[in-house]
A and B are shown apart, each in its own frame.
Chain A
Amino acid sequence: MNDQVRYYKTFVSPLDPCPPIRVKSYSTPPQLFIPFQPPNLPQFTPFEALKYGTLWPMLYSPYNSKNVRQEEGD
């Protein structure tokens, strides 16, 4: 599955009093792109579902801590 985090570069004023955050990220979980869930999708096992927080792998959206600083740029 493609990465669910997207990035954009912010406008930085030369007069910015704070150290600027140049690249910001936002999450685009899969339900945004599935207007109506099709029937009979493949499923996780019950224990996997409990762990991943969804019964359907197609709708799984991972949560990665933002404390680990992403590589800036690109």
Chain B
Amino acid sequence: MVAIVLNEEYYKLLHELQAVDFVLVELNLYLDTHPMDANAIQQYNQYAQLRQQIAHRYESQYGPLKNFGQSYSTTPWSWNDAPWPWQV
């Protein structure tokens, strides 16, 4: 197992992911009450795509974000590698 270095880039990437995730939460809640707003739907899809890209970049460098088959793992199994979320 290669220890993950929590450098500036790590936090930058995680911050980006967090910000994009938050935009998606906001748009999701907004669209629940505004289902016909095409602009917002387009923005939602655009951010969903952006999220996928960021998550992919994160996972290829720092290991899986999710478990139970929602992320790929390296060999050896990397889900239970440090750092855990509360150690970041």
Contacts and interface: CB of A to CB of B under 8 A. Distances in A.
Interface of A: 36-37, 39-40, 46-47, 49-50, 54-56
A69 B22 CA distance: 33
Contacts of A40: 37, 39
Main secondary structure of the interface of B (DSSP, over half): helix
Contacts of B16: 46
A54 B20 CA distance: 12
Given A37-B33, A39-B39, A39-B40, A50 B19 contact: yes
Nearest to B29: A55
B19 A47 contact: yes
Given A37-B30, A37-B33, A37-B34, A46 B39 contact: no
B26 A55 contact: yes
Interface residues of B, number: 15
Interface in B4-41: 15-16, 18-20, 22-23, 26-27, 30, 33-34, 37, 39-40
Contact of B19 (A37, A46, A56): A46
A50 B22 contact: yes
Interface in B30-64: 30, 33-34, 37, 39-40
Contact of A55 (B23, B37, B39): B23
A47 B23 CA distance: 9
